[in-house]
Structure 1
Amino acid sequence: MTKFLETERLLLRRLELGDANRVEELASDYELAKTTLNVPHPYPAGSAADFIRSMWTAEGKGLVAFAVVEKESESLIGIINIKQTLSFKRGELGYWIGLPFWGKGYGTEAARAMVEFGFKKLGLNKVFAGAFADNPGSWRIMEKVGMKYEGTWRQHAMRDGRFVDLAYYGLLREEFDKEE
């Protein structure tokens, strides 16, 4: 597996157990958790190490996950991943960036690197992502990296006891190749 990806301001590298406290610190923020399907709130104390180990285990099953690290501070600011469906050569992009780093373009920068990685290194035909329909910050990232809106899956998931709509975006290899 690739050890890391580098962008202008970011290093995307494999998650390490030493990241556990920082993951827990950032993921504990309700404003972040409420924008995701899988980050629990309150975040269980001491559970980030188990989460990181689960990411390692999933690597053999098509998951590629990276810590998003700000180069300047050398601090973890989020997590990004692609969950591959190998039989269909597609990958679902997932990400979160800690609240103190919102609005600075880090999510877009990391997503752009992962989309390129998906096509060039993983050989995917499609990279797609979903976000809560009422979370424009997330789906704007998808648009900025070239993904096209494909539709909204109504009441497709549940968060905090309520059904939520998910907006899906995707990018095909042929579209990615044209943009290069």
Structure 2
Amino acid sequence: MTPVLHTERLTFRPYRPEDEDAFVGLLRDEEVCRWMGQERVPEADIRTLFRAILDDVYPQRLFDVWGLWQEDTFVGHAEVKKTGNVDGHELIAALAPPYWGRGLGTEVVRGLLRHAADNLGLKEAYGMVGADNAASLAMCRRLGFRHVRDVTGDDGTVTRLLVIPTTEPPANGDGTGTAGAAR
């Protein structure tokens, strides 16, 4: 079961039915989609995805996925799941634009790394960051991520595949981004 996690300022909480509108709002935001390297999709598709998290992902324990909360305010989304790019797990995070540049990205990634090591027994984790996402790439460098290779999409966009050990404490960073997602 996806556990509730806490960092200094955030609570990582499994989604509840009443979180659907917040989830949809985040994944319909143009800036968030841009930095996540995805096209905006119809709202109905995002609602279907949300229901799949509640109806399939959680009951079947497919992977860990959370809504990110600062007190009672929804600020983003996070996941740890197997990646198809390598034999390993990827950290995925997306923050709502009003929360960029506050160090929350670093806090999210550190929380995900701690969970990956302590609860999942992972020795390393991966992130996928768009090559033009300077803020997230800088944060990943500060945390100690290492570039593995570039992945070029069918549309020509380049994404950096990064890796970090979970067993060493991440380097200090001021966090203007997230691994694998929106700044």
TM bracket (short chain): 0.7 to 0.9
**1:163 corresponds to 2:162:** no
What residue identity is the alignment partner of 1:111? Answer: V
| Cα shift readout 1:37-68 (whole Å, capped 9, x = no counterpart) | 34x42x42344432222224234364211111
Task: Check whether the contact 2:129–2:160 (CA below 8 A) recurs between aligned residues.
Answer: yes
Task: Check whether the contact 1:16–1:52 (CA below 8 A) recurs between aligned residues.
Answer: no
What residue identity is the alignment partner of 1:170? Answer: V
What residue identity is the alignment partner of 1:94? Answer: I
Equivalences for residues 114-153 of structure 1 within 5 A: 114-153=112-151
Task: Check whether the contact 1:21–1:48 (CA below 8 A) recurs between aligned residues.
Answer: no
| Cα shift readout 1:113-153 (whole Å, capped 9, x = no counterpart) | 00110011101122011111111222233233332222322
Equivalences for residues 20-99 of structure 1 within 5 A: 20-38=20-38, 40-41=39-40, 43-56=41-54, 57-59=56-58, 60=60, 62-71=62-71, 74-84=72-82, 90-99=88-97
Q: CA RMSD in A?
A: 2.4
What is the CA-CA distance between 1:19 and the residue it aligns to?
1.2
What residue identity is the alignment partner of 1:22? Answer: A
Structure (1 or 2) with the greater strand fraction: 1
- In the alignment, what sits opposite 1:108? 106
Structure 1 segments (4+ residues) deviating >6 Å:
none
Task: Check whether the contact 1:90–1:125 (CA below 8 A) recurs between aligned residues.
Answer: no
TM-score (norm 1): 0.80
What is the CA-CA distance between 1:177 and the residue it aligns to?
6.4
Equivalences, count: 167
Gaps of 5+ in 1: none
> Could you say what secondary structure the match of 2:163 adopts?
strand
Give the 3 Å change call, closer, same or farther, for CA 125–49 of structure 1 in structure 2. same
Task: Check whether the contact 1:62–1:84 (CA below 8 A) recurs between aligned residues.
Answer: no
What is the CA-CA distance between 1:168 and the residue it aligns to?
1.6
Q: Percentage identity across aligned positions?
A: 21
What is the CA-CA distance between 1:178 and the residue it aligns to?
9.3
What residue identity is the alignment partner of 2:77? Answer: I
- In the alignment, what sits opposite 2:180? none
Flag the structure with more relative contact order, 1 or 2, with Cα contacts below 8 A and sequence separation at least 6. 2
